[in-house]
Amino acid sequence: MTGRQRPDTGYTTGGFPVVRGSRVGEWAAEWLRRVVPRPLDPVHSIKMKIGILVAASIWAAAMVFYFGVRWPMRYTLFSALVVALGVTQVIAHGMTSPLRQMTAAARAMARGDYGQRVRATSRDEVGELARAFNQMATDLAAADRQRREFIANVSHELRTPITALQGVLENVVDGVSDPSTLQAALAQTERLGRLVTELLDLSRLEAGAAPLNRVSFPAKPFLVEATALSAAVVDAPDDLMVTADRERLHQVVANLLANAYQHGPADGRVTVAARRAGGTVLFEVTDEGPGIPVDQRERVFERFIRGDRAIGAVADGGTGLGLAIARWVVQLHGGTIAVVGSDPGCRIQFTLPA
């Protein structure tokens, strides 16, 4: 059983689950949606709606008694009950249909269908609940899509070095091996180790299981130390102080440096700068590479976003997790990170609370 989702409204037709291909069920649900009105949608309170419902039912029954004063009592009473129930059914339809739709949509979600939506035209508490339900469904659909993409990307990233190692081991078993083959095996093993380490780091960061040990330290000596193994130029005032987790911040700078050197020319210049900007400390890592197009600048911080050097994505040999980890660490510190325009090259800025 599933609900038919109308492309023009985005919610399950009529709020009732219907059998796929069942013309009668679809027609009945469509008839209920179009014919049965929802007159109390503009009312902002469910309590007021219940009051109007009771008053309308009593008024309808009173009208039957007024016009049927000469009828036999049993007919008048029966007619008043029927009319009151009819009025109640029409008025209450709009009050309860979102709940029925949410029930049908929740059952669809339990089966993995996150495309169901609820009609949220009511302005009362039930309407707010329907809008929150639709937002939750959208978020769950996005999370499910990211989960599937994450599993596919991890499988791909693990398969590449494992396949290479398998080929090397087969050559060794066959008695065919040379230093270059063993060197390639070592490189693939190191890549596999980096991937597993970064996956564990990302998992701990996302789960909030990586507590921050915040300390205050001068920014310039820290950046000099973080760039010691590279040829990057450090530009920071001597008196600038930073309050952060030193090891995690070192990881952010190292990942941004690795990204800059992967995309920049071999003889290009990489600059790491820091300065105070209002109530924050602003860090910048700038390279002389091809830069990142505007439409790609937000996506480079997603997991396993890869591409060629022309769009500034992860270069060959990278895991596609460095910038994602950098974003998580910066966000854990309460800061922001973004790619900003630079001519030429690419400049990535991140801020930390001062």
Q: pTM for this structure?
A: 0.53
Render pLDDT for 22-62 as a digit per residue (tens, 0 to 9). Answer: 455 445 554 555 555 666 667 667 777 777 778 888 888 88
Q: What are residue 224's phi and psi, to 5 degrees?
A: -60, -45
Percent of the chain residues topping a pLDDT of 70 = 78
Which pLDDT score is estimated for 177?
67
Residues 332-340, mean pLDDT to the nearest whole number: 90
Helix or strand run (H / E) with residue 337: strand 336-340
Of 78-92, 230-244, 264-278, 328-342, which has the strongest mean pLDDT? 230-244
Residue 194 has pLDDT above 80, yes or no: no
For all residues of the chain together, what is the average pLDDT?
A: 76
65-79, 192-206, 253-267: the lowest-pLDDT one: 192-206
Which pLDDT score is estimated for 35?
53
Task: Read off the tokens for 189.
Answer: 């093993």
Task: Please return the burial class of 122, using the count of CB atoms within 10 Å of its CB with bins 0-12, 13-18 and 19+.
Answer: buried
Which pLDDT score is estimated for 280?
92
Domain 214-353 has CATH 2.40.400.10: no
Render pLDDT for 256-301 as a digit per residue (tens, 0 to 9). Answer: 998 888 877 878 889 999 999 988 999 999 988 887 777 777 777 7
In the chain, where the domains are located: 13-139, 149-207, 214-353
DSSP summary character for residue 288: -
